[in-house]
Amino acid sequence: MPLQYSKVLMKKRIILFASGNGSNAVNICQYFEHVQNIDVTEVYTNNSKARVINKLTFFGIKTNVFDKVAFTDGELLSEIKSKKPSLIVLAGFLWKIGSDWVNEFSNKIINIHPALLPKYGGKGMYGKHVHQAVKENHETETGITIHYVNEAYDEGEVIFQAKVTIENEDSIETIASKVYELEQANFPKVIQNLLNKDYS
């Protein structure tokens, strides 16, 4: 019994990667402020001007800026490995993850995509580019996909999807807003469910 109790108290560690505005990163940090067994420990960004940096100072979470060289030559991978994250969460991170990362953190890197994969995935398909393509193709629904990351853009195993209906009169901004609501409502909960599997 004491062994089981101490296992429950072991904290899971999330490291976030973000490139821009940081709305998903902020939402995740807010959510896990109130979860005892899971912490967001650090945030990494490839963009020194990313708005996510200022947004996260409120939470007292360390933000680290890195460049392409550190990302590709193994330096950053070694640094992250030493921190022993339970999960690496890509929250609006736009660079492709290399095979060295995928091999090191198998089924420990997840991403959120603003469409129902396998539709509208791949290089260059992010943010408004996705919503514009959805609108131009007269789709009747769209949504979000949370998936494991592999060596190819948006092709990892799907963990979770949620859908929303698109009306004919919906603008690209309206579609984006509907998808944003799905992201905010579901991303932190899916992360929590993934990490809590170890405690079941």
Which has the closest alpha carbon to 187: 87, 96, 107, 85? 87
Note if 113 is an active site residue: yes
The reported pLDDT for the residue numbered 9 is 59
pLDDT of residue 39: 94
95-125 burial by CB neighbour count: b if 16+ within 10 A, else e?
A: eebeeebbebbeebbbbbbbbbbebbbeeeb
Domain-located, residue 157: yes
Task: Indicate which residue of 34, 113, 131, 147 is catalytic.
Answer: 113
pLDDT score at 199:
44
What is the mean pLDDT of each successive set of 10 residues along the chain, which is 200 residues long? 52 94 93 93 93 86 94 96 97 92 96 96 92 96 97 94 97 97 97 80
Looking at residue 181, its pLDDT comes to: 97
* 138 belongs to a structural domain: no
- Domain of residue 18 covers 2-114+144-163+185-199
Considering its fold, how many domains does the chain have in total?
A: 1
| Pairwise CA distance, residues 29 & 142, whole Å | 26
Predicted confidence at residue 5, as pLDDT, reads 45
Rounded distance between C-alpha atoms, residue 140 and residue 189, angstroms: 26
Q: What is the CATH number of the domain that holds 31?
A: 3.40.50.170
DSSP of 166-187, one letter per residue?
A: --TT--HHHHHHHHHHHHHHHH
pLDDT of residue 149: 97
Residue 46 lies in a domain: yes
The pTM of the full predicted model, rounded to 2 decimals, is 0.91
